[in-house]
Amino acid sequence: MIKNTDGLKVKIEQQNEELVIHLNGFVDEDAEFSNETPEGVRKIIIDFENVKLINSCGLRTWVTWVKALEGRVQIVFRNCHRNIVDPINILEGFMPAGTLLESMYVPYACDSCDYEEEILYVRGQDFLEGRADSPETNNIPETFECPKCGDSMEMDILPSKFFKFLKYRS
């Protein structure tokens, strides 16, 4: 499915019809993805928690791989940091139609004490993508109290660009 390389370590767990792929490291020119899926797998959950970087060669390989999976299995993205959300928003095919983004981190920064933190938000609880019959829902706060100094932390992204993927895509 996905091979370990010097820069990318892969852990795969299969539970009945679900395959969870944990990626750790760099998706780059050495990344190798196979279009084969184990028999009986209907859902592939890709955990991006520990992905440090996806470079241009890695992006090209990634798009080819997920396109080959599209329609064969349900694809779910989990624990997406900014380095994953950005290509979702700008690169056609990075997240094929029908893919669910289960959870994502939103970066926040405090101007008063320079503290930075990423907060994990979950689909269905904090956000929901738009559909043909309903607009997107976004309950993610733009500011909250800094745990270090008590001042206000703000999103360290442009919400209109970062949450663009929530808009309805036909």
> Could you tell me the domains of the chain?
2-101 (3.30.750.24)
Q: How confident is the model at residue 36 (pLDDT cuts 50, 70, 90)?
A: confident
pLDDT over 70 at 126, yes or no? yes
Write down the mean pLDDT value for the chain.
95
**How high is the pLDDT of residue 169?**
66
Q: Judge contact between 108 and 144, C-beta under 8 A.
A: yes
Q: How confident is the model at residue 38 (pLDDT cuts 50, 70, 90)?
A: confident
DSSP string covering 64-92, please? HHHHHHBTTBEEEEESB-HHHHHHHHHST
Q: What are phi and psi for residue 8, nearest 5 degrees?
A: -130, 120
**How high is the pLDDT of residue 145?**
97
Mean pLDDT over 127-136 rounds to: 92
Q: What six digits make up the tokens of 78? A: 């989990």
User: What span, in angstroms and rounded, lies between the C-alpha atoms of 33 and 15?
Assistant: 20
What does DSSP assign to residue 134? B
